[in-house]
A and B are shown apart, each in its own frame.
Chain A
Amino acid sequence: MKYINKMKSVLTLIVIALIVAGISSCGQQAKDTDAFRKGALSSDVASRVYVAPGEYDEFYAFVSGGFSGQLAVYGLPSGRLLRVIPVFSVDPEKAYGFSEETKPMLETSFGFQPWDDAHHPELSQTDGNTDGRWCFINGNNTPRVARIDLTTFETAEIIEIPNSGGNHSSPFTTENTEYVVAGTRFSVPYPQQDVAINTYADKFKGMLSFIKVNPESGLMNIEFQVLLPAFDYDLAHSGKGKSHGWTFFTSYNTEKASTLLEVGASQNDKDFIAAINWKKAEEYLAQGKGHDVPANYKHNVYDEATHMATSNQMNTVKVLLPEECPGLVYFLPTPKSPHGIDVDPTGEYIVGNGKLSADLTVHSFTNMIAAIDNKEYDTIIEGIPVLKFEKVLAGTVKAAGLGPLHTEFDGRGNGYTSFFISSEIVKWKVGTWEVLDRVSTYYSIGHLMIPGGDSKNPQGKYMVAMNKITKDRYLPTGPEVTQSAQLFDITGDKMELLLDFPTIGEPHYAQGISADRIVSKSKKIYKLEENNHPYVAKSEDATKVVREGKDVHVYMTMIRSHFSPDNIEGIKVGDKVYFHVTNLEQDYDVPHGFSVMGFENAEILVMPGQTETITWVPSRVGVYPFYCTDFCSALHQEMQGYIRVSAANSTTELKWSLGE
């Protein structure tokens, strides 16, 4: 019995010891977890991101919506979402891709594409500075580039890129927006054809495209393409200052694997940066070296005067072949499947971020030109000289982290590089390549952005990290959690975390610009007298309903707080009814919406002075209400009407009225 009691007390002691050890180890883990979550938030930073009600943010941030296909606009430093601009995906809220006016914007050579994957916003530049005129963004899946007009924050133009597959290294402007570029991430058969996939090395090609931008109108056209070996062209940036005239593209899969790339494309110790001399290309084009190659792509343009987009079929593109154009393309060997490529504000340093490496490789533009002049070639691939690595190298940022992806600059001689694997940002000194500071991100950062950080004059006050993984940073919302960005203050020696904020889609790249470069140019209304829509009704007197066979055109107006007409009769089952609805308001922020019960379509949201058209094919008889969907006024709930649908063979007279 005594023995058993002893056993009991020993066991109790052991259990207590275990519990104590457990608690203390749990305590340590909890502390570590807490430290992870909060980062280096030392002092009260709330006031530094607080923008008081009615006050404006200092910067606009244009953040890609990733797989949402759209472009999101945030204010910095608050991180408040201001607008989601529909670009490559339909948006029923704004009838983008549903209204007759915007459907042509999403036309491609494959037909209507309701979705794409938007990665890299790029602001237009003048003299290497962001000028607040346009924002370009690439469509990754079905290769396209879009231009957003920053007076209206609407998509003004989308051009499809032929001979391309996966437009990832895009759009990345030159310093006066002479060109935005497009580079194929997936090489494809050239010309596109029915071949065995294992003929990749022979039949596939990589194409880089230069899209000329009209300096007045912004209109884009594919000026030329350069045919390159079948690598994966990943990212790009154009030169500036001394390197103006060149654009640099990273590549991976120089092994030309067409299956299991995670292994097959990771074998070579070095892949290439393709340096394209586009000024040289212009000379070759002038000499007639461009081959007119049949192509099939769409060019879609939105006309603000008619409030209407048109989709134009394009049938040819000019292609330059490197073997016929010496000096057009050089390859710069760069270690470990370089991902991002970034040019410092002076234009001298070209940073290749070898994503499977711990180091950053920095090339010198001066060295590159010298190596070209001295013909310091390792070899020549398909007519393209490969420069000697050690002759172009300027320096290496050593053991900076793991998995470097992208670099931005602050204009004070520092580079900031995101590291995906080690989930951090490293600040380093341009020229000495020493690491100055590092800060964790939550979690697994992709791109980072400093306003103007890829221009000649960065506005280096804030830095935004766009993360690939969010995990536990916010209240859980089921298996799919929000996407996230983080804001840092970079004015001091140490980078300082200020704010987490949720984003739409998956944020890839972003651009920032001080608000004063945009605010004064932002349109408040569309002028009704300048509305040239073919179906506009500029006053209630001009409203009418016109039958053309089975097509019925309703010329309708909206103003606080009624539609004109608001009673329509004589519509028949099987008719195609076009509601051309003009918002007669000429006051800031008075949109009206329009929707019809059961119309198998999206609402239109019509801005003051604008006309939009939505169609309806009624399928059954009855009287159906329509109403204003945007709470517009004290009598918004009264802003409604009825439309009568009669049998297909009925003789109901076509008539319309208001207030009768």
Chain B
Amino acid sequence: MKKYARAIMVIAALTLGLLFVFPMWKITLLAPQYPTGISIEIFVNNITGDISNFNIMNHYVGMKTITVKGFPELAYMQYIVLAMMALGVVIGLFGKKSHFWIWVVFMIAFGTVGLYDFYIWEYNYGHTLDPAAAIKVPGMAYQPPFIGRKEILNFIAYSFPALGGYAVGISISLAGFAALIKRK
């Protein structure tokens, strides 16, 4: 088993590549008049889905318009991922056990910062409301759930990691496993 540690580390690094194929996170809104729900999907470098319908709906309460440009993170996050992939492959091929652990710690750090950044965005998105909004509900904020399900007025909002998000978790787990079994 131990002889596979390097291969597992390389696979762990390459798994991050799935971030370019699948979204990291998905937010869905469900309501009686949206029986099939409307969703946005957050990629490492893009946002897709029913953005215009999100915006049309949310503008009534004065929420900001979601645009790709509104997320500076989307411009550079992909390079961090690419760098971590390259670093992971190099470490996998030539690194020591301690390097393996360093990569894992870096990844956990990046992941935590990313999630915190996402939370801050959600908070701002839900709390920064245009004072000229057509509909004002006193004391009401529209922050989507960080993770899970939440009822907001007539909507039920769902927020969960998507395949790309799971890929990050799998990548870190694989790298951690490789570090554990790695000989010095």
Contacts and interface: CB of A to CB of B under 8 A. Distances in A.
Indicate, yes or no, whether A interacts with B: yes
Interface in B47-62: 50, 52-53, 56, 60
Nearest to B36: A588
A586 B134 contact: no
B60 A559 contact: no
B134 A559 contact: no
A635 B60 contact: yes
A559 B135 contact: no
A587 B31 CA distance: 14
B52 A586 contact: yes
Among A585, A587, A634, residue most surrounded by chain B Cβ atoms (within 10 Å)? A587
A560 interface: yes
B56 A560 contact: yes
Interface in B28-71: 38, 50, 52-53, 56, 60
A525 B134 CA distance: 27
Interface in A611-633: 633
Interface in B109-145: 134-135
**Which bucket holds chain A's interface residue count?**
under 10
Among B53, B56, B135, residue most surrounded by chain A Cβ atoms (within 10 Å)? B56
**Which bucket holds chain B's interface residue count?**
under 10
A638 B50 CA distance: 24
B60 A587 contact: no
Nearest to B52: A586
B53 A587 contact: yes
A341 B47 CA distance: 60
Contacts of A586: 52-53
A638 B59 CA distance: 14
Contacts of A585: 56
Interface string A561-587: 000000000000000000000000111
Contacts of B134: 634-635, 638
Contacts of A638: 134
Nearest to A560: B56
B155 to A, nearest CB: 13
A585 B53 CA distance: 8
A634 B52 contact: no
A633 B34 CA distance: 13
A586 B60 CA distance: 18
Contacts of B52: 586-587
Interface string A632-649: 011100100000000000
A560 B59 CA distance: 10
Contacts of B38: 587
Nearest to B59: A560
17 contacts: A559-B56, A560-B56, A585-B56, A586-B52, A586-B53, A587-B38, A587-B50, A587-B52, A587-B53, A587-B56, A633-B60, A634-B60, A634-B134, A634-B135, A635-B60, A635-B134, A638-B134
Interface of A: 559-560, 585-587, 633-635, 638
Interface of B: 38, 50, 52-53, 56, 60, 134-135
9 A-B pairs with least C-beta separation = A587-B53, A560-B56, A635-B134, A634-B60, A586-B52, A634-B135, A635-B60, A559-B56, A634-B134
Given A587-B38, A634-B134, 7 more contacts: A560-B56, A585-B56, A586-B53, A587-B50, A587-B52, A587-B56, A634-B60
